[in-house]
Chains A and B, each alone.
Chain A
Amino acid sequence: MFIINCPYCGERDQTEFSSGGEAHIVRPKQPTELSDDEWAEFLFMRKNIKGIQFERWNHSHGCRKWFNVVRDTSNDKIHAVYKMGEKPPVNK
């Protein structure tokens, strides 16, 4: 349980948000040309990092906008929040 600083609404309780999992997984440009292995990699395989993780969140009970969060999954401390399309503020 923690507070997330929504880039559109400000600080709100985590329960207002939905986690979208690992961020910056690029959707394949040519889906028809992917092998089964590449599909599995895109759909299912995750880094599931213990430590600093880049992830997507949605303010589902607020403005309903998606954005990115840099969070340490070992202690739930949030290091940065940035909008979709923006460059990550810390080294990825």
Chain B
Amino acid sequence: MKNKYSIFSLIKNAFSSHENWQRAWRDPEPKKEYDAIIVGGGGHGLATAYYLAKKHKMTNIAVVEKGWIGGGNTGRNTTIIRSNYLWDASAGLYDHALKIWESLSQELNYNVMFSQRGVMNLAHNLQDVRDLKRRTHANRLNGIDAVWLNTDEVKKFCPIINTSPDIRYPVLGGTLQKRAGTARHDAVAWGYARGADQLGVDIIQNCEVKGIKRDGDQVIGIETSKGYIKSKKIGVVAAGHSSVIANMAGLKLPLESKPLQALVSEPVKPIIDTVVMSNAVHAYVSQSDKGELVIGAGTDSYISYTQKGSHNIVEETLRAILELYPIFSRMKMLRQWGGIVDICPDASPIISKTQVKGLYFNCGWGTGGFKATPGSGDLFAHTIANDEPHKLNAAFNINRFVSGDLVDEHGAAAVAH
């Protein structure tokens, strides 16, 4: 790997005031034709390109991105990584990703700041307790670490939580996945971009797809703001805009796109050293390395592409946060933003071939796609290279909406999607 990052390169560049670092990826003009094109330069798309080049030796490929890489949902999520899903298919998919996360910084020679600080999911009513205990057992049967904590153990693990029995939604216990945690989301996009670029992948930014060209049942190229590009394999990883691209190819997807919000507070000293998620009251909190509280709110209930989100959603989340963490009552919120998430009826993703030959879709990650980034890229690359799904993503085909074989994580997952 040229320009390998190490302690020595850091020291060497320190002597020249860090003014001589080389750019981490090129800025090429598109070629006339590629063996494969990935539409969407977020974490999932860049990971797909990286694994196509690395594991499947397809190096004449491009990633086209309408804005800048990592500027969509990759840079807008709350960076939570976990694999404690109920159903076998989901457990297989998300734990595959978690295993890659564990050595990703070394593999990419890029610090993605993966931190296994644990993720705790709280139970606030009897049904929560039953569901979370059931999920703990299911996780263990699938080889995924999970433990049930009673109220005292929750308090011990995260002392700032209000575990008084007198609050509106008292904490009746929780589950803990210790291998879960967070990572630096921008670094994931940049690390994969640098890795893919060094393997010969063209990353073309500011290049919006305007049309998908078909010759009968075979896809033959894309019309973009930088001209027409030929390719017989096109993988679309466009998150909230997946339906927009699908409509260009004459397809419909089982998706609805909605704004999902997050917000961060002013930075404070270390106060919460884990990730706490609460489904029933919809409040997720962790603390970034800069000291900001990172708070995840819910989705708006209607289709929208505005990347804003409604104030009442933020208000509901903060109300819950204040009851669970009275210590935060005088903190100021610094920034709030929205991302457009594409949600499937069963709240599980689609990593699949389509009825159009050579056209593949990786979408439907809804509100929880960041954690799957490495696994999603790996499995989508396998699907594109072999024109066949890997056994871990076979269940996530688009045909499940016809066969009825849904992977129903709605209400089954650790959080509502």
Do A1 and B305 touch across chains, with their CB atoms under 8 A apart?
Answer: no
Cβ-closest chain A residue relative to B311:
A1
In this complex, how many residues of chain A approach chain B with their Cβ under 8 Å: the count is 25
Within the complex, what minimum Cβ distance (angstroms) separates B39 from chain A? Answer: 15
With A1-B312, A48-B253: A40-B303 Cβ-Cβ less than 8 Å? no
Considering only residues 15-65 of chain A, those with a C-beta below 8 Å from chain B are: 15, 18-19, 21, 36-37, 39-41, 43-50, 53, 55
Do B254 and A47 touch across chains, with their CB atoms under 8 A apart?
Answer: no
A46 proximity list for chain B (CB < 8 A): 243, 252-256
Do B257 and A15 touch across chains, with their CB atoms under 8 A apart?
Answer: no
Do A45 and B252 touch across chains, with their CB atoms under 8 A apart?
Answer: yes
Do A55 and B402 touch across chains, with their CB atoms under 8 A apart?
Answer: no
With A21-B303, A36-B402, A44-B345: A50-B253 Cβ-Cβ less than 8 Å? no
A18 proximity list for chain B (CB < 8 A): 301
Considering only residues 208-266 of chain B, those with a C-beta below 8 Å from chain A are: 241, 243-244, 247, 252-257
Q: How far is the CA of A41 from the CA of B402 in the complex (A)?
A: 8
Within the complex, what minimum Cβ distance (angstroms) separates B5 from chain A? Answer: 39
Considering only residues 296-332 of chain B, those with a C-beta below 8 Å from chain A are: 301-306, 310-312
A43 proximity list for chain B (CB < 8 A): 345, 401
Do A76 and B306 touch across chains, with their CB atoms under 8 A apart?
Answer: yes
Do A48 and B243 touch across chains, with their CB atoms under 8 A apart?
Answer: yes
Cβ-closest chain A residue relative to B342:
A48
User: Is B386 on the interface with A (CB-CB < 8 A)?
Assistant: no
Cβ-closest chain A residue relative to B255:
A48
Do B252 and A47 touch across chains, with their CB atoms under 8 A apart?
Answer: yes
A37 proximity list for chain B (CB < 8 A): 402
Do B253 and A14 touch across chains, with their CB atoms under 8 A apart?
Answer: no
Considering only residues 128-172 of chain B, those with a C-beta below 8 Å from chain A are: none
Q: How far is the CA of A48 from the CA of B364 in the complex (A)?
A: 12
Cβ-closest chain A residue relative to B404:
A36
A73 proximity list for chain B (CB < 8 A): 257, 303-306
Q: Chain B residues in contact with chain A, CB under 8 A? A: 241, 243-244, 247, 252-257, 301-306, 310-312, 342, 345, 401-404
Q: Chain A residues in contact with chain B, CB under 8 A? A: 1, 14-15, 18-19, 21, 36-37, 39-41, 43-50, 53, 55, 73-76
Q: Can you report 29 residue pairs joining A to B where beta carbons are below 8 Å apart?
A: A14-B302, A15-B310, A18-B301, A19-B301, A19-B302, A19-B303, A21-B256, A21-B303, A36-B404, A39-B402, A40-B254, A43-B345, A43-B401, A44-B345, A47-B252, A48-B243, A48-B244, A48-B256, A49-B243, A49-B303, A50-B243, A50-B244, A53-B303, A55-B302, A73-B303, A73-B304, A74-B306, A75-B306, A76-B306
Told that A48-B303, A48-B342 touch, could you supply 8 new A-B pairs with CB distance under 8 A?
Answer: A19-B302, A19-B303, A21-B303, A40-B254, A43-B401, A44-B345, A48-B255, A48-B256
